[in-house]
Structure 1
Amino acid sequence: MSWRSPTDGFAPSRASQQVVQDNVRVMDKTWENIQKKSKLSGPQRRYRVKLLLDVLLMGFCCTLAAFTNWINNQLKQKDVAPLESLDTDLCTGEKLIQLLEIIGDESLGRYNKTPKLRIQKVENMNKALEFIRRRGVNLTNIGAEDIVDANVKLILGLIWTIILRFTISEISEEGLSAKEGVKDFHVFFYGVNEGPHPMHPTSISKISPSAGRTVLPCKLLMRFRENPASFTKHPVFRCALIHRHRPDLLDYWALDKRKRHENTQLAFDVAEQQLGIPKLFEVEDIVDVAKPDERSVMTYVAQYFHAFSAQDKMGVAGRRVGQMGVVMQQAWEMQNEYERRVRALMDAINGIQSIWGSSGFAGYSDARRQLHEFETYKSTTKRGWVAERRELDSLLGNIQTKLKTYNLRQYSPPQGHTLQDLATCWDSLVEVEAARKRAITVYIRDTKDALKKKFANAANQFQTNLNNISGSLTDLEGDLSNQLDTVQELILRLEPLKNDLQDLERLNAECMEAHIEDNEFTIYSVEDLSFDFGLLTQSVVKKSAFIENQMVARTKTNITPEQLEEFTETFRLCDVDNSNSLKREEFKSALQAEGTDFGDTTFENLFQSAVRGGEEVSFEQFIDFMKAQQEDRANPEQLKVSFQTLAGDKPYITEADLYRGGLAPALVEYLKQAMPTRGEGYDYAQFVDGVFV
């Protein structure tokens, strides 16, 4: 037949006139090899040829079924009725246009729906073929009339071309073309041994870390490309690909490698039910065939690539959303932390101001305690707040920087949480701090001034009272009885001054606690006033005793004035505690001063006779006792003899001689002053002559 123009819608193409049997030979080169190399006899050769034709027929049927299932899976996306017969259902062009609109994601415009006439079918088919050509696919020897005439061979070629363009050509990774990648996967899918899992560490170590997940097996199986025939097929590895990407769907290590059909069926079922990869052929078409149809396998395998690619896209999208979510979450947490910390800092500042506003002072000690607390607050709490404020400034800056880095909307703190609000609160704190410090220091200063004035007034008044009593004591005159009454009155006036002195000591302790070292309102200290008070009290007591003694002496008419003066002076010198009475030891000293020698027993008898049942010897008792003793006293000559005895027959007596005689130290001092000096000692003879008449 002659070739007709493609414009002739009813003319069959040249390809439609080719003999199908010749094309079958070309599909598998082993046909020619068998014809050339076979040394079998005629019947044997015919038997082998029949087997080969059966195999080729099985592959043809597998391809037809696989392509039909593939088209139906695509049409299902738009709820289009499935094909029942690939050769007859596509001849109208309607299903083909619907298929191209789905996989091409583009409308082909108006076309003849439910065409009845051949020309309508050809128009539909030309529209479909023109769309394919616009997509860069060169259709050779395929015309619209061939498809309309249900040329199965060309229909399969057209469908395979569509699959290559719209499904397999999209698969490419790092220089591997789609066909090479799928071919490698084909080797892996059907030609691997029973070695380790493709993702076993021994295999993983040979894969670049940057290799994408969608190219498993492209990189992994490059080592299988050189000699795929060296590996025996094993269906268990049909599960390996699923396990590589979705280990949660099946357990590769639990598979029994001997169950070829079961493993293949498991892979098909998991792929269809869990991954949405429909089954294009039966298990027997793969497991029980020496070499399954390559185009069917590539079509099916391509669906894995697209499924895992979509999964990776979801993963990338998830990672992108997750990363942005992490950024947003971090920013949100930082914003919450900023607001929480600002609120906590401002609450703490307001709280301390409220405490200061309601606190008073319960005295100087309380004021000092509050001052110490204030200084501690400034060195601890306040510094922590200063650091927190700086950190909040930095935190807000970090938030804005983070948001700007990811082109996110800048953060505006809510009302009452801005840095300006914090600055206003801080300025208020500074003002309240100044007022607080000023209030404490003023109170302490005023308290110190009040303490100094209070002590000064009491001290000055105390000194005035002492001066008045001292003046009254100095101005004594008149009758002894009147003087004694006046002195007794002065003693009574001294009693309340003891309490005043205790008050002064308490005020002085308060001043010391307030660290008052100098008082400009008085010149008197509590020590000075206590000393003056003691001296005045002693003077008044002595004056009272002196007047009483004088009144007693005036009644002793049987004693000469000289004797009375001598006894009085001895009594005064030996009355160490100024009690106007002599205790046991004081009485012994007085007797020794008067030159009386005695032992312990003699002294005890003398003391008991003097006290007359009492415990101490009064002045009157001492005068009476001495008067009784003087009646037996030696004359001046005897006294000189006594001095001469003490002096060791020297015409003078030394201080050592007086102490050797057992005289009291006070009496020795008195005699040293009373006796005139002579040579290395004192002239006792002249002293005795001067004393006696």
Structure 2
Amino acid sequence: MEALEETWRNLQKIIKERELELQKEQRRQEENDKLRQEFAQHANAFHQWIQETRTYLLDGIAYRRVIRVYQYEVGDDLSGRSCMVEESGTLESQLEATKRKHQEIRAMRSQLKKIEDLGAAMEEALILDNKYTEHSTVGLAQQWDQLDQLGMRMQHNLEQQIQARNTTGVTEEALKEFSMMFKHFDKDKSGRLNHQEFKSCLRSLGYDLPMVEEGEPDPEFEAILGHCGSKQVSLREAVGLALPTPPSCSLHLPPPPPRDGHVSLQEYMAFMISRETENVKSSEEIESAFRALSSEGKPYVTKEELYQNLTREQADYCVSHMKPYVDGKGRELPTAFDYVEFTRSLFVN
């Protein structure tokens, strides 16, 4: 009987110890679950912010207004009908907005650090699963780094467009059209077009590319790819195209970059800018180039500005053929030349 009572007491002790262990494990599991939820809350919000910021950068920034763009691409989902495409404000306003957004991206690194600390705490607690989120610290860190790189590329691209507008006479409207068409065909918001998307984009912009079967040679398109990533055409080359007998200013292009089956936004814009500059045909376009050359967009250009921005041969030609600028009161300004009259005279039949 005494042995039975001792056994009963031991059993009660074991049951109590087990209950304490279960309570401790329950508290541990509850704490782990709270840690999972806290990590998921921050990770999900951070991922959503990444997606929204990426879309914000790629779809246009600040001062948005809706315009109608017509597509005629065969096989495109917009064939034969119009679509609504967002157009942003001035290039300068877009650049400023992009810089502010990039500063925000850099500031969000602290939020990523908090997520990484929570992830480290989960690892220390041997938490290997999380039913509340599909995101990991490694994946979010990679996405943040890609977003940071995208912000820098977008800044560079806008600076490239501003430089092109100011130094080649390519209009801001043309640059916006190029950018919007790229964004339309960039379906996955990657900032790159594969070759088929690039072809569709070019056709929508009026390029008459031949239809070839897959695997067949396409020399015309290959030539275009060879120009993608080439250096931008300079002001002196653009103005040189306006002269009736322009001095030699051929553009020496470096070898094209290694191809990976895609064309980046930067390469695409460089190509479109170079094509637009090479096809300068109207007096208005040439006037725009000289206006960009002149300080504050004045209707005249100085001798100093000509020699600072053009080759000596081009500047000599302009100085010898441009008439002195006369203001509204009939006064002739020293070392100022009338580029408007000069440009229009080039296009007189």
**TM class by smaller structure:** 0.3 to 0.5
TM-score, structure 2 normalization: 0.44
Relative CO higher for 1 or 2, CA cutoff 8 Å, sep ≥ 6? 2
TM-score, structure 1 normalization: 0.24
**Structure with the higher fraction of residues in strand conformation:** 2
**Structure with the higher fraction of residues in helix conformation:** 1
